[in-house]
Structure 1
């Protein structure tokens, strides 16, 4: 049995639904640059820690938090972390 609000570690595709509420394109195909280590790659390849309320999107290379997507007050909130830029592929 999973504890309430326990995080599950998955790839960036798991955040697609949450990100679709913010971006007009499939965000998993967007290429992001980590401001901490300079690694570049599609968000689909990022590491995501997921629970019922949030998706913490981390750099696959250095594990810094790129961004956090939160469900709150009937909407979605994006908190920018160390992502330096996002480019539509």
Structure 2
């Protein structure tokens, strides 16, 4: 049996930078709790917590949490089973 070779996580820098350079409000997400698939712009966002909490408009379960400090950001997407992000057609394709 041959071992699969791998690259370290630094390889993700370019592809992730490309991904998060787009408007995520145009992305579509699926709620892990109820299965609703809808634009992220339709989430109900609460800003009076430490950070932002975005809830599913159908079942009110938390889909996204974003907390910022002066030197970093924490993004928690445990409440979403996927996030489909529209990509510009003129950008590079990662395979």
TM-score, normalised with respect to structure 2:
0.64
Output the aligned Cα RMSD.
1.9
User: SS of 2:65's equivalent?
Assistant: strand
> Moved runs in structure 1, 4+ residues, more than 2 A?
none
Q: Is the 8 A contact 1:49 1:56 kept in 2?
A: yes
**What is the CA–CA distance in structure 1 between the aligned matches of 2:71 and 2:31, rounded to whole Å?**
29
Matched, 1:84 2:81: yes
Q: Deviations over 1:27-74 (max 9, x none)?
A: 000000001000011110000001374110110000110010001252
Alignment-derived partner of residue 45 in structure 1: 42
| Matched positions, count | 68
Structure 2: give runs of 5+ residues left out of the alignment. Answer: 1-18, 87-95
Query: Which of 1 and 2 has greater Rg?
Result: 2
Structure 1: give runs of 5+ residues left out of the alignment. Answer: 1-21
Distance 1:77 1:88, change over 3 A: same
Select the structure that is richer in strand.
1
Higher relative contact order (CA 8 A, sep 6+): 1
